Amino acid sequence: MVDIGVFGATGVIGSRVVTEALRRGHRVTAFTRDAARVPTRGGSATWAVADWLDTDSIAEAIAGLDVVVSAVNAGHGIADTIARADDFVAGARAMVAALDRQPRVRLIAVGGAGSLEVAPGIQLLDTGDDFTRTLTEVLDVPADYARVVRALRDALNIYRLSNRNWTYLSPSSGRIAPGERTGRFRIGGDQLLVGGGDLSAEDVAVALIDEAEQPRFVQRRFTVGY
């Protein structure tokens, strides 16, 4: 049994992480920034309020845990997330500082696909017009969403420069939505896995809890895709 904390526990991915961890018999503490969002029926998870942008709040919240999963979105909806993109960087800095105080706790953070490589040394984010078309035509989001993608890459680099016990998951999918839990997906490193389609949040949660149970990517980034 692992003591797992989940930041962003009311979100699309985070809520599935809570469900998946409980399903496997782990102890789960679910964190939210807003006490009003705590479910009236919290199930077997313990719910607590914590601010993912505040080092003191994080350090206090994760004390005694084995693993913390960070699946936080900076905003509510695309426009708000773009406006708050810098929070991903601030949150990474706060988390690293909190881990300095709680060095036995392991972090698994969820990021984006934009920093995955599409060719040796070339990240998806750096493909210019091709990347812009991916945003606007494939994912149907504004070109300004590149701010979010860059912030998530910056967050990854903050973890890479730390000496803490971190792992970063960049799913090889532009869209992650509620769907089927198949438990069947490919696993890779820094290269984008192409051709698999959109991932379900349920399978992203499976990958995260697999990594929590059996660490394979300590101080490394990994990806999953169909």
User: Would you state the pLDDT for residue 33?
Assistant: 87
The answer on pLDDT for 42 being more than 70 is no
User: Would you state the pLDDT for residue 150?
Assistant: 96
User: Would you state the pLDDT for residue 203?
Assistant: 97
User: Would you state the pLDDT for residue 127?
Assistant: 92
- pLDDT by residue (tens digit) across 16-30? 999 999 999 999 999
Residues 166/91/68/152 CA torsion (nearest 10 deg): -60
Q: What are the backbone dihedrals phi and psi of residue 169, each rounded to the nearest 5 degrees, phi first? A: -105, 120
User: Would you state the pLDDT for residue 111?
Assistant: 96
- pLDDT by residue (tens digit) across 130-178? 889 988 988 889 999 999 999 999 999 999 999 999 999 999 988 899 9
pTM of the model: 0.94
Residue 160 exposure: Cα atoms within 13 Å on the Cβ side: 11
Q: What are the backbone dihedrals phi and psi of residue 25, each rounded to the nearest 5 degrees, phi first? A: 90, 15
CA distance 224 to 112: 11
| Position 57 confidence tier, pLDDT thresholds 50, 70, 90 | very high
Domain ranges of the chain: 3-112+148-225
- pLDDT by residue (tens digit) across 72-102? 998 888 999 999 999 999 999 999 999 999 9
CATH assignment of 3-112+148-225?
Answer: 3.40.50.720
- pLDDT by residue (tens digit) across 175-207? 899 999 999 999 999 999 988 789 999 999 999
- pLDDT by residue (tens digit) across 65-77? 999 999 999 888 8
Give the H/E segment covering residue 10.
none
